[in-house]
Amino acid sequence: MDASVHTSHPGQDHKVTPMMEQYIEIKTANPDCLLFYRMGDFYELFFEDAEQASRALGIMLTKRGKHQGEDIPMCGVPVERADDYLQRLIAKGFRVAVCEQIEDPAEAKKRGGKSVVKRDVVRLVTPGTLTEDALLDPRRSNRLIALSRVPTGEDTARIGIATVDISTGAFIVEETSPSNLATDIARLDPAEIVVPEAMLDDELLEAIIRGARVPIAPVARDITDGATAERRLTEAFGVTTSAGFGQLSRAELAAGATAVSYIVRTQRGARPPLSPPKQTGRDDVLHIDGATRASLELTRTLGGDRAGSLLHAIDRTVTPAGGRLLADRLASPLTRPGSITQRLDSVSLLVEDARLRRDLRALLKATPDLVRAAQRLAFRRGGPRDLACVRDALIAGRDVSTVLAGRDLPAELGAIRESLGAPDPKILAALGDALAETLPLRTSDGGFVRSGYDPDLDAARELRDESRKVIAQLQTRYADETGQRTLRVKHTNFLGFFVEVPAPTGEILRTPPWNATFVHRQTLQGAMRFSTVELSDLEQRIAAAGDRALAIESAIFERLSQIVIEAGDPLKDLSDALAALDVASALAELAADRSYVRPEVDLSLDFTIEGGRHPVVEQALNGAPFIANGCDLTPSASAENGRICMITGPNMGGKSTYLRQNALIAILAQIGSFVPASSARIGVVDRLFSRVGAADDLARGRSTFMVEMVETAAILNQAGERSLVILDEIGRGTSTFDGLSIASATVEHLHNSNGCRALFATHFHELTELSKRLPRLFNATMRVAEWKGDVVLLHEVVPGVADRSYGIQVAKLAGLPASVVERAKTVLAELESADRTGKRGKPVSDLPLFSIAAAAPPPSAPEPESDPSLDALDGIDPDDLTPRAALEALYRLKALRKSASREFPRDARASKKDR
List residues bridging with 123 in a β-sheet. Answer: 98
List residues bridging with 338 in a β-sheet. Answer: none
Count other C-beta atoms under 10 Å from residue 768's C-beta.
21
Residue 503 to residue 525: CA distance in whole angstroms: 8
Cis peptide before 878 (omega within 30 of 0): no
650 is in an annotated binding site: yes
153 is in an annotated binding site: no
Q: Where are the alpha helices (DSSP H) in 405-512?
A: 411-420, 425-434, 455-482, 503-509
Residue 693 to residue 732: CA distance in whole angstroms: 11
Residues 6 or more apart whose CB falls under 8 angstroms from that of 205 comprise 149, 178, 181, 199
**CA dihedral in degrees (57, 63, 66, 68; nearest 10)?**
40
Reduce the secondary structure of 276-344 to three states and give it as a string: CCEECCHHHECEECHHHHHHHCCCCCCCCCCCCCHHHHHCCCCCHHHHHHHHHHHHCCECCHHHHHHHH
Report the sign of the C-alpha dihedral through residues 853, 856, 857, 863, in that order.
Answer: negative
> Which H or E run contains 350?
helix 337-352
Closest of 600, 627, 613 to residue 682, by C-alpha: 600
Asked if 392 and 286 touch (Cβ cutoff 8 Å), the reply is no
788 is in an annotated binding site: no
Residue 498 to residue 532: CA distance in whole angstroms: 8
226 is in an annotated binding site: no
The helix/strand/coil state of 674 is: coil
Give backbone dihedrals phi and psi of 645, rounded to 5 degrees, phi first.
-105, 120
The helix/strand/coil state of 368 is: coil
Using alpha carbons only, what angle is made at residue 276 by residues 273 and 280, rounded to the nearest 5 degrees? Answer: 130
Amino acid symbol at 539: E
Sheet containing 496-502, strands listed edge to edge, beginning at the edge strand earlier in sequence: 488-492, 496-502, 527-531, 519-524
Residue 370 buriedness (CB in 10 A; 0-12 / 13-18 / 19+): buried
447 is in an annotated binding site: no
18 is in an annotated binding site: no
Residue 888 to residue 687: CA distance in whole angstroms: 60
Residues 6 or more apart whose CB falls under 8 angstroms from that of 709 comprise 742
Closest of 446, 426, 425 to residue 436, by C-alpha: 446
Using alpha carbons only, what angle is made at residue 144 by residues 274 and 295, rounded to the nearest 5 degrees? Answer: 135
DSSP label of 697: B
652 is in an annotated binding site: yes
Asked if 760 and 792 touch (Cβ cutoff 8 Å), the reply is no
483 dihedral zone (left: phi>0; alpha: psi -120 to 50; beta):
left
Residues 6 or more apart whose CB falls under 8 angstroms from that of 151 comprise 157
Residue 461 to residue 628: CA distance in whole angstroms: 69
Residues 6 or more apart whose CB falls under 8 angstroms from that of 231 comprise none
List residues bridging with 139 in a β-sheet. Answer: none
> Which H or E run contains 795?
strand 790-799
384 is in an annotated binding site: no
DSSP label of 685: P
Residue 795 to residue 723: CA distance in whole angstroms: 26
The helix/strand/coil state of 159 is: strand
274, 384, 388, 580, 587 from 569: Cα distances, Å: 10, 21, 18, 16, 27
List residues bridging with 124 in a β-sheet. Answer: 97
The annotated binding site for ATP is made up of 649-656
Which residue ranges are tagged as binding site? 649-656
